[in-house]
Structure 1
């Protein structure tokens, strides 16, 4: 896989934050390492969200039609206000 460079300009608070996270006092050697870690965390967060969604939707998709009951929008709103 070919390596491709992406250049991003950050200033102000973003630049200050990156400086705090890198170098002698930070967790990362340099800004590139920090940005790669952030992207990996974002990918994992998205994967986790999809896994959670699938886990909660699949039982409904596999359920027999007889297990469902009709509810109105008002019923759903009322139920969610109690939660």
Structure 2
């Protein structure tokens, strides 16, 4: 994939300074690093959200759970419903 991005003003100056300071060999490398960092952030946020959902689920008292047989689960799966 090729992308063309126009930046100007202070953003252009910042990118130029970041690349010429030797942190990155070129602008493409810098942009790839930014995308990787953003992807890692999104993955961390998704993992944190999953942890919260799991903590909430495990905080429920055992008496709140409904005991189902394998046949019950199959019927629900085939019916496409959670209840």
TM range (shorter): 0.5 to 0.7
TM-score by length of 1: 0.67
Q: CA deviation at 1:26?
A: 2.9
Q: Does 1:29 align with 2:25?
A: yes
Report the count of equivalent residues. Answer: 63
Give, in whole Å, the separation in 2 of the partners of 1:30 and 1:18.
Answer: 10
2:61 maps to what in 1? 64
Q: CA deviation at 1:14?
A: 0.7
Give, in whole Å, the separation in 2 of the partners of 1:32 and 1:66.
Answer: 56
Give, in whole Å, the separation in 2 of the partners of 1:12 and 1:65.
Answer: 60
SS in 2 for 1:10: coil
5+ long unaligned stretches in structure 2 = 65-83
Pairing of 1:39-78 with structure 2 (within 5 A): 39-62=35-58, 63-64=60-61
The structure with the largest alpha-carbon Rg is 2
| Aligned-CA RMSD value | 1.8
TM-score by length of 2: 0.67
Pairing of 1:13-24 with structure 2 (within 5 A): 13-23=10-20
